[in-house]
Amino acid sequence: MTSAHILVLGAGPAGAAVALGLNRLGYRVSVVSEWRRFEAVEGISQRVLDGLYHAGLRRAADSAAAPSAREVYWNGTRQTLNTEFLLDRRAFDHALRQDLQAAGIAVIEAKVRTLVSDTQGHQVQLDGPDGTGMIAADFLVEARGRLAPLSGKGLRGPETLGLLNTWQGAPGPHGSAVESMEDGWVWMARLADGRCYWQLTLDVASAELPGKDQLAGFCATRRTSALVLDFFGAHAQQKAAVHARTSTATLCLETSGGNWLRVGDAAMAVDPLSGNGIFQSLSSALQAPAVIHTLLTRPDRVQLAQRFHQRRIEHLFHRFARIGRDFYAMEQRWAERPFWQARRTWPDQQPIHVASGFEQLRVEKAPVINGDEIDEADVVVSPDQPLGIWHLQGVELAPIVQALQQGPGTDVLNTLAPEQRHMLRGWLLAQGYRPA
């Protein structure tokens, strides 16, 4: 056990994954979190479930419902696409806390009243059911999501609002659906116990919204499409509770310091159409323990660790933002309407994947995760992989690519085991390599 005390603010998937990773490294970790104040449900993929299991969040992963079909009505075409696993967020959040407590990590239910930080550490004033008082920490992890206080510069996409409607219907098969509309889009879900969820996503600048007291009636007038009526049946028009929340894409341009780090939606959050937020949160959180360990134990690598974290946060953000942009561009019926026009070209015109040839591969030094630390190594960089690739299933790529670029590569490939040679040849062919 190291002497440093690390305080994680937030017990969502990002905060929980970081806390477990740090606990495995021997750090004394405490987590502070409030319970979610509204009902919510999310749809996740098998890849997200795998990520939860990999992070050690087994109870949280097991709280997901069995996979169900997802209906999509987009650009005038209705079809069933893929499947997803529905998560009741209250049950999921409870399971996350169980995973933390099972690992011996203290979870404090409290609200952060004040936070005072300097180079020596952090003093946090708490107020909640688990007590009111001051807690000190040597290192702070900010994992309180989109609404975490932001100091410094940030990047924001088109301002976006989600109106979540929840009501109780009759028990039945669970499932989800997506529908585009003239001024936004809707995601809807139905749990097996009859709880119904319908969220309308709108453009803040162009939406003509009524006052807070009229929001429920406003939403009820929108829950009338053929897909909604088929999906919810006789319960589509039941009275619903409405919760408004931002879903604007945000990127923090300063995600770390010498004794603090931002992860999950506190570091970057994208439009929900771009992909699942839990996957994005886990992607930044799984690398965080190595970054933090380096910041605390390797003063000579502080800048390297910070650069590693920031580059990957920004790369992840732009990747998913472009995925969302391309989904928006697929809806052609209302391309000139304010909602769609603002999102079909943001954040840029760069394609998600950039075709490249073998001659464009280059080797350069870059920060990498090496065991439990951030190190520097030779990586192979391409237009489609700007952060570089160090290993491919245990095979270091830079020496092989350099050798092949200098001449015929039979000898260098023959030094590998047969299965490695087969795997590497497939990767090289995908990069445009054509042996003589």
Domains of the chain listed by start with CATH number? 5-68+82-153+249-330 (3.50.50.60), 160-246 (3.30.70), 358-430 (no CATH)
Instruction: Work out the pLDDT band at 152, boundaries 50, 70, 90.
Output: low
User: Which pLDDT belongs to residue 129?
Assistant: 86
Which structure tokens are listed for 339?
């909602």
Question: Number of H helices and number of E strands within the chain?
Answer: 13, 25
pLDDT at 51 over 90: yes
SS3 label, residue 100: helix
User: Which pLDDT belongs to residue 409?
Assistant: 63
* Range 318-344 average pLDDT: 96
**Alpha helices for 298-345 (secondary structure H):** 302-330, 338-343
pLDDT at 1 over 60: no
* Range 129-151 average pLDDT: 88
HSE, side-chain direction, 13 A CA sphere, residue 339: 22
Instruction: Work out the pLDDT band at 410, boundaries 50, 70, 90.
Output: low
Instruction: Work out the pLDDT band at 436, boundaries 50, 70, 90.
Output: low
Work out the angle at residue 284's Cα, subtended by the Cα atoms of residues 14 and 365, and round it to the nearest 5 degrees. Answer: 160
Identify residue 102 by its one-letter amino acid code. Answer: A
Instruction: Work out the pLDDT band at 415, boundaries 50, 70, 90.
Output: confident
State how far Cα 304 lies from the chain centre: 23
Give the integer Cα–Cα distance in Å for 323 and 328: 9
Instruction: Work out the pLDDT band at 2, boundaries 50, 70, 90.
Output: low
Which among 131, 66, 50, 63 has a CA at the least distance from the CA of 96?
63
206-229 residues labelled b (16+ CB within 10 A) or e (exposed): ebeeeeeeebbebbbebbeeebbe
User: Which pLDDT belongs to residue 347?
Assistant: 95
Give the integer Cα–Cα distance in Å for 189 and 177: 6
User: Which pLDDT belongs to residue 391?
Assistant: 94
User: Which pLDDT belongs to residue 326?
Assistant: 96
